[in-house]
């Protein structure tokens, strides 16, 4: 790398970190102003809010704002170089815009790798605390998707039905477990008044059990006070919320989705969109770099102000497209994979067009 590449790397990194810090503070202030009534009404102390909740929320804020901070830093730096005629001097000396893009791309690729690792393994751990806290103190906490009349496939030919599931106590009420044999004939049925999860043994303990066996010749039944049973259906399969994936690492999320499909859950679009976004969102760091450099490399009469205004406008459209595509994926209007990748691919195409049509 040349001296000028290192100069851009240093200034871009410094600007990016500064903007990231500003966005974190701005996000926390806005969030606190919006939810201060919830905190006060539900008895959250300032020590809990600023000593537990927001410190654990910061990793997710970093994940969310990193592409925006990098985009604004690129727009500001490139615009400043253009206004000071430094880009013009580089062009006249034979340095093309594509060559100038090299240090920007280095930062973008490093940011994308950071987002993938940080968002895939670090952020989910802090989100577990955040989501538990929001369940206790915020009105807009993630709601449970299934509460009553829950039906899950335990394994092929075996269906578990639950009348009501208490997420906090890990207790299922009015439980029925059916097992079918060949020709879809019912062979075995277990009815229990309640079923609790035994964490130490990793199994379900049924209480007040009536166990029935069916054959063409006879029907037998046995009453038991308790019955321990191993099921493929786990507590998380019965207590799904809208934001389950956010508190799981990538391997855990992959296993969770496989468990949902195996247990016969129909509505998996939302967790699938969240899972695929773990892979697509880091790409935004590279896309914003490809987009920002040709967008702000032209010297404009109104200087830096117009450059930043254009940058903010483009960033707003990018975020708006993200917010539009995700609900379409949740509702099934778009395949979850398409919903998670569409905004990034669309703006990547725009960035490549700008690169192709900009001054070389």
Task: Give CA–CA dist 150/127, Å, rounded.
Answer: 26
Q: What is the model's pLDDT at position 286?
A: 97
pLDDT at 297 over 80: yes
* Model confidence band, residue 198 (pLDDT cutoffs 50, 70, 90): very high
For residue 65, which of 116, 117, 22, 1 has the smallest C-alpha distance?
22
> Cβ contacts of residue 256 below 8 Å, gap of 6+?
236, 244, 245, 248, 271
- Percentage of the chain surpassing pLDDT 70? 96
* Model confidence band, residue 59 (pLDDT cutoffs 50, 70, 90): very high
* Model confidence band, residue 360 (pLDDT cutoffs 50, 70, 90): low
> Cβ contacts of residue 301 below 8 Å, gap of 6+?
none
For the segment 231-240, what is each residue's pLDDT rounded down to a tens digit? 989 888 887 7
* Model confidence band, residue 292 (pLDDT cutoffs 50, 70, 90): very high
What is the CB neighbour count within 10 angstroms for residue 228?
10
pTM above 0.85, yes or no: yes
Q: What is the model's pLDDT at position 143?
A: 63
Average pLDDT (266-274) is 89
For the segment 114-130, what is each residue's pLDDT rounded down to a tens digit? 999 999 999 999 999 99
- Percentage of the chain surpassing pLDDT 90? 63
* Model confidence band, residue 301 (pLDDT cutoffs 50, 70, 90): low
Q: What is the model's pLDDT at position 216?
A: 79
Task: Give CA–CA dist 207/255, Å, rounded.
Answer: 29
- As given in the structure block, the two tokens for residue 63 are 């994940």
* Model confidence band, residue 229 (pLDDT cutoffs 50, 70, 90): very high
Q: What is the model's pLDDT at position 307?
A: 75
* Model confidence band, residue 303 (pLDDT cutoffs 50, 70, 90): low
Average pLDDT (26-45) is 94
pLDDT at 311 over 70: yes
């Amino acid at each position: 790398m040349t001296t000028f590449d290192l100069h851009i790397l240093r200034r871009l990194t410094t600007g990016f970190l500064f903007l990231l810090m500003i966005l974190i503070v701005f996000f926390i202030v806005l969030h606190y102003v919006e939810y201060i009534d919830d905190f006060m009404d539900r008895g959250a102390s300032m020590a809990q809010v600023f000593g537990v909740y927001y410190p654990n929320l910061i990793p997710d804020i970093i994940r969310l704002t990193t592409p925006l901070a990098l985009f604004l830093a690129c727009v500001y730096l490139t615009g400043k170089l253009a206004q000071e005629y430094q880009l013009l001097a580089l062009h006249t000396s034979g340095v093309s815009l594509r060559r100038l893009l090299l240090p920007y791309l280095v930062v973008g690729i490093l940011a994308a790798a950071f987002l993938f690792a940080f968002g895939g393994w670090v952020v989910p751990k802090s989100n577990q605390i955040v989501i538990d806290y929001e369940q206790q103190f915020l009105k807009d906490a993630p709601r449970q998707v299934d509460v009553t009349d829950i039906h899950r496939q335990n394994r092929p030919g075996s269906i578990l039905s639950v009348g009501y599931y208490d997420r906090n106590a890990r207790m299922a009420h009015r439980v029925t477990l059916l097992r079918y044999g060949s020709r879809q004939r019912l062979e075995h049925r277990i009815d229990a008044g309640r079923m609790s999860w035994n964490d130490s043994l990793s199994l379900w303990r049924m209480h007040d059990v009536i166990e029935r066996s069916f054959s063409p010749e006879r029907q037998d039944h046995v009453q038991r006070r308790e019955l321990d049973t191993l099921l493929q259906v786990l507590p998380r399969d019965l207590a799904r919320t809208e934001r389950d994936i956010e508190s799981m690492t990538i391997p855990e999320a992959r296993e969770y989705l496989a468990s949902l499909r195996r247990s016969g859950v129909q509505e998996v679009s939302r967790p699938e969109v969240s899972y695929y976004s773990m892979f697509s969102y880091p790409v935004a760091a590279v896309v914003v770099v490809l987009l920002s450099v040709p967008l702000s490399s032209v010297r404009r009469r109104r200087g830096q102000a117009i450059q930043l205004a254009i940058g903010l406008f483009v960033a707003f459209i990018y975020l708006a497209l993200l917010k539009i595509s995700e609900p379409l994926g949740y509702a099934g209007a778009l395949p979850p994979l398409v919903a998670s990748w569409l905004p990034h691919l669309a703006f990547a195409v725009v960035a490549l067009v700008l690169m192709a049509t900009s001054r070389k």
